[in-house]
């Protein structure tokens, strides 16, 4: 019986400890209140890619500056890549040559570039390469010397000298390729006697390598062929006559990011001014014509052309002069201002366009070669054109909707443990307009899957005051936007990778305008009440 | 007659409300005048788990132990019963003891025992519990105070030498000396900790000064030695006048007075920081869509330092006085006990119990009231059954009432002790 009792006791022990050790992971829910994010925004922060300026009364102007692309020196003038071949062939019969014998006569020659109608006389290269390809069919080494006497650097002509290996057999030539960097070389385009344009002076010689032994008999088609390619030549300064021709810029469009996020709504602007500025740093006369300027909204499909006396009427542009300092030329600057009084520029901007279009033409040297080949160009300067849009922030907004997408990654959070969340957006709005926000989750195909804020989600306008024909903010209004997410929405939100944020602005003052001051701010605080499951 | 107690199997199952068992006679044999007239030796094996808290109800503790999901109502029910300062303690030990009378003397016993002991205890505010189990939402517009939160966990191996001597026919003096090998040690003290949550959740303000100690993190095995120490135990027992019908005993104990000196690989970390957090500033995101919002990490708020130090820690000890008196042919026994814990988070403990023996069925039933230690008011209940030769069975609970209302009453324990002699 003793052993039976002991066995029963042992069995009891085993059972008790086995049951005791079996346990599940402990978990429970916590209600956490966490400040998530905050921001304090001025108009500078709200208007991306723009610069604000402050008027004397503290009100704000938005100044938008954009360069007209495409109007550059390359459009006026460039030197194309050019290849020049020089060859020595055995004319007929045969010849015997000893080491040191000439194959090509050592005499200066001229090469003329095809640059018409330009007539260049002088230039300094910012960059450029002369690539040489030498082919030797003679079964002796050949010493090739090439002097580009028109190109000098510190008064030393561009020169190279190479020994081209002997041809390995009577039917197979040898080839040697070399390259000379022409950056910073001065180029005299007037040829051997200084009476040409677009012309380079060269000296080429080819001799049997004097260190060779024994003579060689040359038979047709033995030859020595030298190919020179001027590649990627860009001058930093060029002088001559650039011809008299019509150069077209556009029609083309420049992207305007200012209104790029607008989806719908109506904007009323008190006034707009746009200044078109042309700077001529080139030493050439021109006749400039703005054929058209327009704004285009891809959202509405509307294109509004600018009506102004300048459109379609050519303007003569005088040549720049040397400054002998930096910048190297004194530009001729022309500007035209489009405003409420002389154009429909307000209509162009009220369309909230995402593109500004242009169509220009420049007729160079309309009076011919009046400078005697003394036109000049510093390609880094050339002719520049700018648009400066100046919008006093006096406006009304009628349900203007902006949309933007955000890439999100909540991977660092233990997202699976957050059961549901109640977000609150506390807003202290010191701007004279309502702002609404709606956030949509996007699926893998960028389709909206669900919204996480129930409309309207409005941040209400600051209290308004009226003075001198404008409404303005007088204090700030506190608003709370509730963003209640159930468990499914919370999971979807935290697993989302793209969010679509829709903002709506409305002034409630149409047709009167509100005026924005530099002191206006929007203070945002986002807090979250999470139900968090520990050890989920 | 030579009497040899060659084996004792003791089981203490379930829970006992006291991290330190204030009732046990351990570590000394109960050397009564009757026993002193015998010559004997014994070997015993003991094991036990005692768990107690005055903080949360038994249902919650059971959930903590068993695991699984606790819903908010369940947690709130536990939280609603919290005290401003709440305590808990867990004490486990296993060991073996060998004892023998000395030099044919019937009045002296020498015992040697080897024990593996583990003590986990602490105290915390109700705010600390609520923050940990319910979060800070309920503290909107209020300050949660977790100052004074303490947690200590120590395990050690103890080699104890005890000498018990009958000084007179009525007096027994017992003295024990132990050499301690410290195995593992963790301690966390939140000396100052407050968290204020704005009424709208716009910001939280925190201020914390806390320390954390840990024995050598490279020696984590249960029997790795990370320090040494000593301790003493002293008991004086006085036996009053005894008759056929009555007896009385007075006993004074000083137990576990000692310390462990944890070696210089002990890690000390401290946090001393004050922070104000109002979320991530995302203002740059509006001007730069490519701006990467950096989430804050602990380093943004918590200023910490880590160093290696020596650290000496006292054992949780107790000073205890017990008075026992039997009446009516020793069928009825009154036992009054008072214990004062030292270097412990427990509060003073007191109990009064009555035991009634029923010889006809070889059974004794005990019950009474107790208060203190790591628990609040308790109603202990115990049955001793010795009906079978060489076997005795003790079973009981330290709080009978909690079995009827486990989700309302805090503190609960039960134990079973089985003894086999031959």
Q: If pLDDT is split at 50, 70 and 90, which confidence band does B89 have?
A: confident
A4, part of any domain:
no
Q: What percent of chain B has pLDDT over 70?
A: 78
Looking up residue A178, the CATH number of its domain turns out to be: 2.60.120
Q: Is the pLDDT confidence value at B22 over 60?
A: no
- Whole-angstrom CA distances from B330 to A7, A141, A217 are 36, 133, 144
Q: What percent of chain A has pLDDT over 70?
A: 89
A54, part of any domain:
yes
Q: If pLDDT is split at 50, 70 and 90, which confidence band does A5 have?
A: very low
pLDDT of residue A292: 94
Comparing B398 with A38, the larger pLDDT belongs to A38
- Interface with chain A: mutation pick from B9, B197, B275, B287, highest number of A CBs within 10 Å: B287
Q: Is the pLDDT confidence value at B3 over 50?
A: no
Contact map slice: B 359-378 vs A, CB within 8 A:
none
Partners of A266 in the beta sheet? A398
Q: At what angle do helices B72-79 and B126-134 cross, to 10 degrees?
A: 180
The three-class DSSP label of residue A213 is coil
Average confidence (pLDDT) over B58-77: 84
The three-class DSSP label of residue B373 is strand
Contact map slice: A 10-49 vs B, CB within 8 A:
13, 16, 23-41, 44-46, 48
Q: If pLDDT is split at 50, 70 and 90, which confidence band does A62 have?
A: confident
pLDDT per residue as tens digits for the range A186-214: 999 999 999 999 998 988 888 899 999 88
Statement to judge: residues A85 and A222 lie in one domain: yes
Average confidence (pLDDT) over A143-148: 89
pLDDT per residue as tens digits for the range A78-91: 788 888 777 766 65
pLDDT of residue B28: 60
Cβ A36–B280 below 8 Å, yes or no? yes
Contact of A508 with A461, CB cutoff 8 Å: yes
Statement to judge: residues A351 and A446 lie in one domain: no
Tokens of A335: 């500007």
Q: If pLDDT is split at 50, 70 and 90, which confidence band does B266 have?
A: very high
A73, part of any domain:
no
Interface A-B: count of C-beta contacts within 8 A: 107
**Which among A223, A241, A259 is the end of a domain?**
A241
A7, part of any domain:
no
DSSP line for A88-134: EE--SS-EEE-TT-EEEEEEEEEEE---TT-EEEEEEEEEEEEEEEE
Statement to judge: residues A380 and A409 lie in one domain: no
- Choose among A335, A290, A288, A334: nearest CA to A308: A290
Chain A contact for B169 (CB, 8 A cutoff):
no
Contact residues on chain A for B201, CB-CB shorter than 8 A: 33-35, 424, 527-529
Q: If pLDDT is split at 50, 70 and 90, which confidence band does B289 have?
A: low
Statement to judge: residues A401 and A490 lie in one domain: yes
A98, part of any domain:
yes
Q: Which of A463-472, B20-29, B203-212 has the lowest mean pLDDT?
A: B20-29
CB atoms within 10 A of CB A180: 17
Q: If pLDDT is split at 50, 70 and 90, which confidence band does B49 have?
A: low
A104, part of any domain:
yes
Q: If pLDDT is split at 50, 70 and 90, which confidence band does A381 have?
A: confident
Instruction: Share the mean pLDDT of chain A.
Output: 83
Average confidence (pLDDT) over B38-63: 73
Helix or strand (DSSP H, E) at B304: strand B304-314
B201 min Cα distance to partner chain A (Å): 6
Q: If pLDDT is split at 50, 70 and 90, which confidence band does A165 have?
A: very high
DSSP A298: T
Q: Is the pLDDT confidence value at B393 over 80?
A: no
Q: Is the pLDDT confidence value at B167 over 60?
A: yes
pLDDT of residue B330: 81
Tell me the CB-side half-sphere exposure of residue A442, using CA atoms within 13 A: 16
Cβ B75–A28 below 8 Å, yes or no? yes
pLDDT per residue as tens digits for the range A98-107: 898 888 777 7
Helix or strand (DSSP H, E) at A18: helix A2-21
**Which among A241, A267, A294 is the end of a domain?**
A241
Statement to judge: residues A338 and A434 lie in one domain: no
Q: Which of A143-152, A504-513, B260-269, B271-280 has the lowest mean pLDDT?
A: A504-513
Q: Is the pLDDT confidence value at A169 over 80?
A: yes
Statement to judge: residues A479 and A522 lie in one domain: yes
- Tell me whether the omega of the peptide bond preceding residue B59 falls within 30 degrees of 0, making it cis: no
pLDDT of residue B311: 92
pLDDT of residue A160: 85
Contact residues on chain A for B418, CB-CB shorter than 8 A: 9
- Interface with chain A: mutation pick from B130, B275, B283, highest number of A CBs within 10 Å: B283
Tally of helices (H runs) and strands (E runs) in chain B: 5, 21
Q: How buried is residue B272: exposed, middle or buried, by Cβ count under 10 Å (0-12/13-18/19+)? A: middle
Tokens of A339: 């405003």
Statement to judge: residues A221 and A294 lie in one domain: no
Phi and psi based region of residue B393 (left: phi greater than 0; alpha: psi -120 to 50; beta: remaining): beta
Contact residues on chain A for B281, CB-CB shorter than 8 A: 37-39
Contact map slice: A 400-419 vs B, CB within 8 A:
404, 412
Instruction: Share the mean pLDDT of chain B.
Output: 81
**Which among A187, A222, A241 is the end of a domain?**
A241
**Could you give phi then psi for residue B138, rounded to 5 degrees?**
-70, -5
Query: Which residue among B67, B283, B286 sits closest to A24, beta carbon to beta carbon?
Result: B67
In A410-521 the beta strands, taken as DSSP E runs, fall at 418-429, 434-442, 448-451, 458-459, 464-467, 470-473, 477-485, 498-506, 513-515
Average confidence (pLDDT) over B62-88: 86
pLDDT of residue B1: 35
Comparing B208 with A534, the larger pLDDT belongs to B208
Q: Is the pLDDT confidence value at B313 over 90?
A: yes
> For A357-424, what is the HEC assignment?
EEEEEEEECCCCCCCCCCEEECCCCCEEEEEEEEEECEEEEEEEEEEEEEECCCCCCCHHHEEEEEEE
Comparing A54 with A166, the larger pLDDT belongs to A166
A20, part of any domain:
no
pLDDT of residue B36: 59
Q: Is the pLDDT confidence value at B19 over 50?
A: no
Contact residues on chain B for A527, CB-CB shorter than 8 A: 200-202, 279
CB atoms within 10 A of CB B137: 17
| Structural domains of chain A, count | 3
Q: Is the pLDDT confidence value at B360 over 70?
A: yes
Comparing A45 with A478, the larger pLDDT belongs to A478
- Residue A349 belongs to domain spanning: 244-391
pLDDT per residue as tens digits for the range A316-331: 999 999 999 999 999 9
A402, part of any domain:
yes
B253 min Cα distance to partner chain A (Å): 33
- Choose among B133, B145, B148, B227: nearest CA to B186: B227
- Choose among B349, B289, B290, B354: nearest CA to B89: B349
- Whole-angstrom CA distances from B284 to A409, A521, B277, B288 are 18, 15, 18, 6
Q: What percent of chain A has pLDDT over 90?
A: 29
pLDDT of residue A528: 86
Percent of chain B that is helix, strand, coil (3-state, to 5): 10, 60, 30
Statement to judge: residues A194 and A147 lie in one domain: yes
Q: If pLDDT is split at 50, 70 and 90, which confidence band does B293 have?
A: low
Q: Which of A42-46, A73-77, A262-266, A460-464 has the highest mean pLDDT?
A: A460-464
Q: How far apart are CA B207 and CA B201, in angstroms?
A: 17
ipTM of the complex model:
0.72
Q: If pLDDT is split at 50, 70 and 90, which confidence band does B93 have?
A: confident
Statement to judge: residues A375 and A250 lie in one domain: yes
Q: Is the pLDDT confidence value at A455 over 90?
A: no
Statement to judge: residues A488 and A387 lie in one domain: no
The three-class DSSP label of residue B345 is coil
pLDDT of residue B33: 61
Comparing B69 with B99, the larger pLDDT belongs to B69
Statement to judge: residues A102 and A178 lie in one domain: yes
Q: Which of A56-70, B259-273, B368-382 has the highest mean pLDDT?
A: B259-273
Statement to judge: residues A401 and A349 lie in one domain: no
Average confidence (pLDDT) over A486-513: 79
């Amino acid at each position: 019986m003793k052993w039976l009792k002991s066995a029963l006791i042992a069995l009891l022990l085993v059972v008790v400890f086995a049951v005791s050790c079996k346990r599940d992971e402990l978990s429970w829910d916590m209600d956490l209140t966490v400040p998530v994010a905050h921001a304090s925004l001025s108009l500078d922060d709200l208007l991306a890619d723009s610069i604000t300026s402050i008027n004397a009364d503290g009100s704000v102007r938005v100044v938008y500056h954009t360069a007209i692309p495409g109007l550059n020196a390359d459009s006026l003038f460039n030197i194309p890549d050019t290849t020049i071949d020089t060859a020595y062939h055995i004319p007929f019969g045969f010849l015997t040559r000893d080491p040191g014998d000439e194959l090509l006569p050592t005499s200066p020659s001229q090469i003329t570039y095809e640059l018409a109608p330009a007539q260049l006389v002088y230039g300094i290269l910012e960059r450029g390469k002369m690539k040489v390809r030498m082919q030797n069919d003679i079964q002796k080494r050949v010493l090739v010397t090439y002097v580009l006497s028109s190109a000098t650097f510190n008064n030393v002509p561009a020169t190279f000298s190479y020994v081209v290996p002997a041809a390995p057999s009577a039917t197979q030539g040898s080839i040697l390729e070399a390259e000379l960097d022409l950056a910073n070389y001065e180029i005299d385009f007037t040829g051997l006697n200084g009476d040409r344009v677009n012309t380079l002076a060269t000296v080429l010689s080819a001799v049997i390598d004097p260190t060779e032994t024994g003579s060689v008999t040359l038979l047709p088609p033995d030859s020595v062929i030298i190919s020179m390619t001027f590649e990627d030549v860009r001058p930093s300064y060029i002088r001559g006559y650039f011809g008299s021709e019509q150069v077209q810029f556009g029609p083309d469009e420049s992207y305007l990011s200012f209104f790029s996020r607008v989806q719908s709504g109506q904007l009323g602007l008190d006034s707009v001014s746009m200044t078109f500025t042309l700077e001529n740093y080139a030493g050439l006369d021109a006749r400039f014509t703005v054929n058209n300027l327009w704004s285009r909204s891809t959202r509405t499909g509307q294109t509004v052309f600018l009506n102004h006396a300048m459109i379609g009427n050519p303007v003569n542009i005088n040549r720049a002069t040397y400054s002998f300092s930096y910048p190297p030329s004194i530009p001729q600057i022309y500007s035209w201002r489009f405003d409420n009084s002389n154009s429909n520029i307000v209509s162009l901007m009220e369309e909230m366009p995402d593109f500004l279009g242009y169509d220009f033409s420049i007729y160079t040297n309309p009076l011919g070669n009046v400078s005697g080949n003394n036109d000049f160009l510093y390609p880094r300067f050339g002719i520049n054109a700018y648009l400066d849009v100046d919008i006093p922030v006096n406006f009304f907004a009628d349900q203007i909707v902006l949309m933007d997408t955000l890439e999100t990654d909540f991977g660092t959070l233990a997202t699976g443990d957050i059961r549901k969340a109640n977000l609150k957006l506390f807003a202290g709005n010191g701007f004279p307009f309502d702002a609404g926000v709606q956030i949509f989750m996007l699926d893998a195909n960028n389709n909206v899957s669900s919204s996480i804020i129930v409309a309207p989600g409005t941040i209400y306008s600051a209290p308004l005051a009226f003075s001198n024909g404008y409404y303005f903010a007088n204090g700030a209004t506190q608003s709370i936007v509730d963003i209640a997410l159930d468990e499914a929405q919370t999971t979807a939100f935290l697993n989302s990778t793209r969010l679509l944020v829709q903002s709506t602005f409305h002034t409630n003052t149409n047709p009167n305008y509100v005026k924005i001051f530099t002191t206006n701010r929007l203070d945002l605080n986002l807090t979250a009440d999470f139900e968090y499951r520990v050890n989920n | 007659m030579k009497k040899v107690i060659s084996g004792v199997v003791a089981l203490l199952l379930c829970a006992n409300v006291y991290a330190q068992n204030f009732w046990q006679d351990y570590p000394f044999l109960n050397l009564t005048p009757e026993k002193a007239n015998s010559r004997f030796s014994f070997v015993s094996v003991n094991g036990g788990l005692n768990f107690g808290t005055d903080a949360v109800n038994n249902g919650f503790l059971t959930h903590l132990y068993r695991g699984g999901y606790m819903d908010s109502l369940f947690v709130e029910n536990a939280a609603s019963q919290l005290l401003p300062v709440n305590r808990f303690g867990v004490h486990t030990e296993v060991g073996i003891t060998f004892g023998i009378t000395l030099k044919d003397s019937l009045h002296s016993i020498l015992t040697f025992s080897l024990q593996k002991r583990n003590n986990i205890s602490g105290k915390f505010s109700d705010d600390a519990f609520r923050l940990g189990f319910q979060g800070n939402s309920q503290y909107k517009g209020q300050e949660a105070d977790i100052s004074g939160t303490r947690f200590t966990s120590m395990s050690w191996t103890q080699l104890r030498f005890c000498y018990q001597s009958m000084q007179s026919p009525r007096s027994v003096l017992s003295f024990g000396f132990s050499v301690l090998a410290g195995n593992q040690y963790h301690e966390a003290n939140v000396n100052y900790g407050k968290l204020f949550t704005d009424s709208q959740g716009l910001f939280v303000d925190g201020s914390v000064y806390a320390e954390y100690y840990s024995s050598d993190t490279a020696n984590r095995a249960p029997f790795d030695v990370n320090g040494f120490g000593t301790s003493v135990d002293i008991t004086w027992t006085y036996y009053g006048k005894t008759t056929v019908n009555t007896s009385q005993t007075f006993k004074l104990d000083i137990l576990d007075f000692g310390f462990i000196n944890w070696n210089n690989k002990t890690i000390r970390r401290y946090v001393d920081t004050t922070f104000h957090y109002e979320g991530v500033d995302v203002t740059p995101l509006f001007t730069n869509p490519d701006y990467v919002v950096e989430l804050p990490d602990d380093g943004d708020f918590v200023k910490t330092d880590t160093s290696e130090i020596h650290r000496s820690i006292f054992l949780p000890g107790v000073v205890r006085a017990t008075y026992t008196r039997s009446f009516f042919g020793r069928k009825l026994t009154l036992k009054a006990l008072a214990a004062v814990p030292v270097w412990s988070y427990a509060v003073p403990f007191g109990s009064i119990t009555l035991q009634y023996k029923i010889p006809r069925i070889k059974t004794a039933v005990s019950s009474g009231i107790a208060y203190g230690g790591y628990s609040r008011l308790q109603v202990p209940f115990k049955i001793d059954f010795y009906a079978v030769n060489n076997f005795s069975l003790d079973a009981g609970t330290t709080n009978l009432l909690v079995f009827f209302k486990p989700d309302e009453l805090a503190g609960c324990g039960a134990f079973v002790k089985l003894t086999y002699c031959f």
